[in-house]
Amino acid sequence: MKEENSKKRMGERKTNLDKPVTLGLLLEFTDDFLIPRLSDVMSDTIKSEVGKSEHRMKIYVDDKLARFAAEITGRSEKRFEKIDRRFETMDKRFETIEKRMEKGFEKVDKRFEKMDKRFENMDKRFDRLEHIRGRDVLFKEKVVDVFEERGVCGPDDTAYLRGVI
């Protein structure tokens, strides 16, 4: 039975193949079947090729970006390490400067203490001198008063002497 069915089909195929093909039939077949099918196949092929090329481009760009990022981070890490080392040396320098300043301030404090003692001594001396000067001024005023009482000098002379005192 299978053989009979296959023979019938073969016969139908032969009959379809034996029919004459007209130009209208060819154009209709081309418009209805071939062109849409070819455009589908072409668009699928183009889409797959475009997708592949986009994928390759994406991989290429990602690789380039990764390389540049690695170079940039490598450079920046080196620069940051350099900056860190500079900061460490600057910190050490500041520490030594602070130590020197502390020692210097201690010396300056000692000098100020010595100077304070000297000024105290000088204040005592000035107090003595003022006391002596005060006595001297009193003596001079008494002398001018005596000159005035006795009439030894005139009013201009006494005014001059009081101005000098």
How many angstroms separate the first and last alpha carbons of the chain? 163
Q: Tell me: the pLDDT tens digits for 29-62? A: 888 888 899 888 888 888 888 888 898 999 999 9
Please determine, for residue 7, whether its predicted confidence score (pLDDT) is greater than 70: no
Q: What is the pLDDT of residue 92?
A: 92
pLDDT band at 1 (very low <50, low <70, confident <90, very high): low
Q: What is the pTM of this model?
A: 0.31
CA distances from 117 to 104, 114, 123, 130 (A): 20, 5, 10, 20
Residue of 142, 149, 138, 144 whose CA lies nearest to 159: 144
Report the chain's mean pLDDT, rounded to a whole number. Answer: 82
Domain borders along the chain are 28-112, 120-165
